[in-house]
């Protein structure tokens, strides 16, 4: 295998400017793989159209869901909620030949490999609480008082779970079991829309938003599960950092107003290996 393993996230194709950027995403070689770490869009048809386009171009596409894919958006004819919506997204990806967190983890055997590429769906549980708070209720109250509230509170439904943290707990347990069953001789590339550790949220302009950005229960997964690289998005702050000697890559495109501030033409596709 002579290609590269690339990653991108937060394409937000509801924006025409971002659709133009996506149209420019092309592999360097016929062997290139592409990781898509969530937030392709909100409307089911837009997500399907974008993943189909990318799958037609890249040798392998690996997708992990973001919060936007899980929204039940008022403009979406697909009105499924919660687990039913996630299951429908997985079924759609399988029809396209896109790998999901429910499929057997693929092994990248190109430069930097072999590594197990593991897309994760673990959600969040409000444990990244707002500064000075000790409970979910306090943290949410601080966020609402500051006017910093994630749209998930209105559109990301946890059905049939009673709340998002219960869904998160179920996903954590199922994902932990799958990761523990991977080949212990191989390092991993862990792919999650939400960062596995809290440290990346420390640079947020609004610290109250961190509670929608992950869970403390994955804080050691990059070490425990032999990560060579951890890939994530969600924060719209593309950068490379290291925690416990492991490289973390935030690979968001983000909203047009954000990538325009960075200057130049956006080039969101990051080579991971």
pTM as predicted: 0.96
pLDDT at residue 143, rounded to an integer: 97
Share of the chain above pLDDT 90, in %: 96
Specify the 3-state DSSP secondary structure of 115.
strand
pLDDT at residue 1, rounded to an integer: 67
pLDDT at residue 263, rounded to an integer: 85
Q: Tell me the per-residue pLDDT of 247-266, one tens digit each, with 9 for 90 and over.
A: 999 999 999 999 999 887 88
pLDDT at residue 2, rounded to an integer: 78
CA dist., res. 79 & res. 155, Å (int)? 11
Find how far residue 103's CA is from the centre of its chain: 16
pLDDT at residue 264, rounded to an integer: 79
CA dist., res. 250 & res. 9, Å (int)? 8
pLDDT at residue 265, rounded to an integer: 80
- One-letter-per-residue 3-state SS of 121-156: CCCCCCCCCCCCCCCHHHHHHHHHHHCCCCCHHHHC
pLDDT at residue 156, rounded to an integer: 98
Residues with Cβ < 8 Å from 113, sequence gap 6 or more? 1, 5, 107, 273
Q: Tell me the per-residue pLDDT of 36-47, one tens digit each, with 9 for 90 and over.
A: 999 999 999 999
CA distances from 182 to 185, 216, 271 (A): 9, 22, 24
Given a cut of 70, whether residue 224 has pLDDT beyond it is yes
Q: Tell me the per-residue pLDDT of 48-83, one tens digit each, with 9 for 90 and over.
A: 999 999 999 999 999 999 999 999 999 999 999 999
Specify the 3-state DSSP secondary structure of 229.
strand
Given a cut of 90, whether residue 267 has pLDDT beyond it is no
In a 10 Å sphere around its CB, with 0-12 CB exposed, 13-18 middle and 19+ buried, how is residue 89 labelled? Answer: buried
Share of the chain above pLDDT 70, in %: 100
Average pLDDT over residues 208-220: 98
Average pLDDT over residues 129-137: 95
| Mean residue pLDDT across the chain | 97
Q: At what angle do helices 16-23 and 44-57 cross, to 10 degrees?
A: 20
CA dist., res. 227 & res. 270, Å (int)? 17
């Amino acid at each position: 295998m002579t290609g590269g393993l690339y990653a991108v996230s937060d394409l937000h194709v509801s924006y025409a400017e971002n659709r133009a950027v996506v149209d420019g995403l092309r592999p360097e070689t016929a062997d290139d793989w592409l990781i898509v770490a969530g937030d392709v869009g909100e409307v089911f048809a837009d997500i399907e159209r974008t993943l189909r386009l990318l799958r037609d171009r890249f040798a392998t596409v690996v997708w992990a869901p973001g919060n936007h894919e899980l929204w039940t958006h008022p403009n979406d004819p697909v009105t499924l909620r919660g687990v039913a919506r996630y299951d429908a997204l997985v079924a759609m990806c399988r029809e396209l030949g896109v790998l999901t967190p429910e499929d057997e983890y693929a092994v990248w055997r190109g430069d930097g490999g072999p590594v197990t590429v593991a897309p994760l769906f673990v959600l969040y549980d409000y444990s990244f609480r707002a500064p000075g708070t000790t409970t979910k209720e306090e943290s949410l109250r601080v966020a609402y008082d500051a006017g910093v509230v994630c749209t998930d509170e209105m559109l990301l439904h946890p059905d049939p779970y009673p709340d998002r943290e219960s869904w998160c707990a179920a996903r954590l347990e199922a994902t932990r079991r799958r990761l523990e069953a991977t080949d212990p001789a191989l390092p991993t590339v862990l792919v999650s829309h939400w960062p596995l550790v809290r440290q990346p949220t420390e640079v947020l302009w609004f610290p109250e938003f961190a509670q929608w950005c992950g869970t403390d229960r994955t804080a050691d997964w990059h070490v425990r599960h032999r990560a060579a690289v951890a890939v994530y998005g969600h924060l719209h702050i593309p950068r490379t950092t290291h925690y416990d000697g492991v490289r973390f890559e935030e690979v968001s495109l983000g909203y047009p107003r954000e990538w325009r501030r960075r200057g130049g033409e956006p080039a969101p596709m990051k080579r991971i290996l």
